[in-house]
Amino acid sequence: MSGGDEIDTKKRNFDREAANWDQVPSRVKVAQDIVRSLIQEITFTTGMDVLDFGCGTGLLTLALQPFVRSITGLDSSRGMLDVFQTKIKEQNLNNVKAEYIDLDKGDVLSGSYHLIVSSMTLHHIKNISPLLKQFYSILLPSGVIAAADLDLNDGQFHGDNDGVYHLGFDREALRLIFTEAGFQNIQTRQAAGIEKPVGDSQRRLFTIFLITACK
């Protein structure tokens, strides 16, 4: 990849955060809500091979594992993957893999999947279009992509926006990028909400949507 095809991901220190990642109740609840939305939106089958892009500690991956034939989690944080791989061993799962990938160093997605899922990862990707084209290339005919991410906001979700390229997304603008990558039947729906403290003693609800599309 070169020039405008560079995907360019911003990384905060997820390795350092990995050990305590699952200790934040709101984070676990958001993952559960997104899983619930995925199950409502997608027909899972035991013949399905799935990719979870930006899998982190595997909250989403492991929740979907019972419904599919195989699921592979990819992440660029070795710390997150270490936590995830420990879970896989402890639960003795043979249909789950956790693998490292760094698209900024030229790694390219490979394999063939019926479904690609991604949760709260796209806002860390500067150039989404080339990533979606890679997704499209590894999806099997009639395959589905389902990505959950933040609605457009003023940047207060993270507090520290180190590692953040997009302060959420305008759903219609994102739909256009999916269309340009070749996807069809693109739909969005609200998937989750999370209340976070902002400013002095204030709390705010941030909404998370799910965008789905077919090859």
How many independent structural domains does the chain possess?
A: 1
Distance CA 213, CA 187 (A): 7
Write out the residue range of the structural domain in which residue 33 sits: 3-214
Q: What is the pLDDT along the chain (215 residues), one digit of tens a residue?
A: 333 456 555 455 555 655 565 666 677 788 899 999 999 999 999 999 999 999 999 999 999 999 999 999 999 888 889 999 999 999 999 999 999 998 888 899 999 999 999 998 998 888 899 999 999 999 999 999 999 999 988 766 666 656 677 778 999 999 999 999 999 999 999 998 887 777 766 877 788 999 999 99
CATH number of the domain at 48, please. Answer: 3.40.50.150
User: CB 164: neighbour CB atoms within 10 A?
Assistant: 16
Backbone torsions φ then ψ of 170, nearest 5 degrees: -75, 125
Residue with token string 């989690």: 73
User: pTM, whole model, 2 decimals?
Assistant: 0.87
